[in-house]
Amino acid sequence: NAGVTQTPKFRVLKTGQSMTLLCAQDMNHEYMYWYRQDPGMGLRLIHYSVGEGTTAKGEVPDGYNVSRLKKQNFLLGLESAAPSQTSVYFCASSTRTYGELFFGEGSRLTVL
Amino acid sequence: EDQVTQSPEALRLQEGESSSLNCSYTVSGLRGLFWYRQDPGKGPEFLFTLYSAGEEKEKERLKATLTKKESFLHITAPKPEDSATYLCAVQALLGAGGTSYGKLTFGQGTILTVHP
């Protein structure tokens, strides 16, 4: 049972480059989330989705875009990467809005 | 604004030395308080949800308690395998802050190291 799978696990970008992080879950969860984790900051929500075809902004959405074309996938895009986007990114899913979150193992992104 | 503060930032224990981690919070309408464990290089793993003051939950050497202002994670006779970062998060009621989901606010975590 894979749970929540993130790809890639590591990526190095140059400033201005673009990339997409992919999150896939096999638990048939309705809700999916993208967080970033920075030292001393805790986990901060970037974007979230309450169902297929829907997305909404979280706390720190600037510089990111997302899409949820299929229920099991949630994509996070960076159109023009900046050094401030160097972070560890976590995808999570939940079966309902008040349920516990199931996290992926993270994607470590470095922007030079 | 919802806030979660965890203390201490880091805690070093000897194996068998019991202690507690603190999570102080302010939230506009608490739906639940979550504890997660995070191992290095991994994603957070769910431990407990507490919903109301006075509630307690246990799992092996861990016991979580909740008051109206804070939560404690008590670790009894810890082992080296309990070493991890422990995260606390509060969940607001649906619609808080204009969101369409139960908004979660995470603390910065407590790094626990248990020496043999």
Flag if B34 and A102 touch (Cβ within 8 Å). no
Lowest mean pLDDT among A62-71, A89-98, B11-20: A89-98
Classify strands B110-115 and B10-14 as parallel, antiparallel or unpaired. Answer: parallel
Tell me the pLDDT tens digit for each residue of A15-54.
999 999 999 999 999 999 999 999 988 899 999 999 999 9
Nearest CB neighbour to B101, from listed A97, A104, A106: A97
Chain A CB within 8 Å of residue B19 CB? no
Please determine, for residue B61, whether its predicted confidence score (pLDDT) is greater than 70: yes
Question: Is residue B67 scored above 70 in pLDDT?
Answer: yes
Name the closest residue on chain B to residue A98, using Cα atoms. B102
> Average pLDDT for residues A87-91, to the nearest whole number?
98
What is the four-CA torsion angle of B107, B109, A26, A110, rounded to 10 degrees?
100
Distance in angstroms (rounded) separating the CA atoms of residues A98 and B104: 10
pLDDT at A67 over 70: yes
Residues of chain A in contact with residue B2, where contact means CB-CB under 8 angstroms, are none
**HSE toward the beta carbon, residue B26, CA cutoff 13 A:** 3
Task: Quickly state the pLDDT bin for B97 (edges 50, 70, 90).
Answer: low
> Please, what is the average pLDDT of chain B?
93
Mean pLDDT of the region A66-72? 97
- Token code pair at residue B61: 């050497």
The predicted pLDDT at position A77 comes to 98
Using the Cα atoms of residue B7, residue B65, residue A34 and residue B1 in order, give the sign of their dihedral: negative
Size of interface A-B (CB pairs under 8 A): 53
A4, A97, A102 member nearest B94 (Cβ): A97
Does B105 or B103 have the greater pLDDT score?
B105
Selection from B58, B32, B85 nearest residue A94 by Cα: B32
Task: Give the whole-angstrom CA distance, residue B113 versus residue B116.
Answer: 10
Please report, in angstroms and rounded to a whole number, the separation of the first and last CA atoms in chain A. 36
Q: Which two tokens stand for residue A91?
A: 């995808």
Q: Per residue in A73-83, pLDDT tens?
A: 999 999 999 99
Task: Using CA coordinates, name the residue in chain B closest to A33.
Answer: B101
Amino acid identity at A45: L
Q: Is A42 left (phi over 0), alpha (psi -120 to 50) or beta?
A: left
Radius of gyration of chain A (CA): 13
Nearest CA in chain B to A92: B43
How confident is the model over B83-109, as a mean pLDDT?
85
